[in-house]
Amino acid sequence: MSDAPLTVIAIATAKPGMEAALLAAQEVLVAETLTEDGCLRYELHQSLDDGRVRIFVESWASEAAWQAHMEGDAIRRFRASGAGDLVADLALHRLVQVAG
């Protein structure tokens, strides 16, 4: 596991008709995650082309910080709320900067 900063792009597509309920849960997740150790950036964006698609843009101090987030209280509460059942599709991309 690297100590280099980690960027994560998570693309979630809401099930039809579940957009508002998912957004409410995602907004809570963002607010809670921003206080976590190692969180440098945790933003939620919505696609202008498809209102069901939401994209998290995350930056973490290290992969270990992101792993702690994925096993932490905010994610645990998000899952326990049933929000995961509102998602039709999820793509997660862990990235390391190679230029710029």
Q: Write out residues in the chain with pLDDT < 50, as ranges.
A: none
Contact between residue 38 and residue 14 where contact means Cβ atoms under 8 Å apart: no
Q: Give the pLDDT confidence score for residue 56 in this predicted structure.
A: 98
Greatest Cα pair distance, the chain, in angstroms, is 40
Q: Give the pLDDT confidence score for residue 41 in this predicted structure.
A: 98
What are the boundaries of each domain within the chain?
6-95
* DSSP label at residue 92: E
Q: For the chain, what percent of residues have pLDDT higher than 90? A: 92
Encoding tokens for residue 52?
Answer: 């069901």
Q: CATH: 1.10.2020.10, 3.30.70.100, 3.90.79.10, 3.40.50.2300. Which one for 6-95?
A: 3.30.70.100
Contact between residue 16 and residue 52 where contact means Cβ atoms under 8 Å apart: yes
Determine the Cα–Cα distance for residues 23 and 3; give it in Å rounded to an integer: 32
Closest CA to 21 of 85, 73, 74, 92: 85
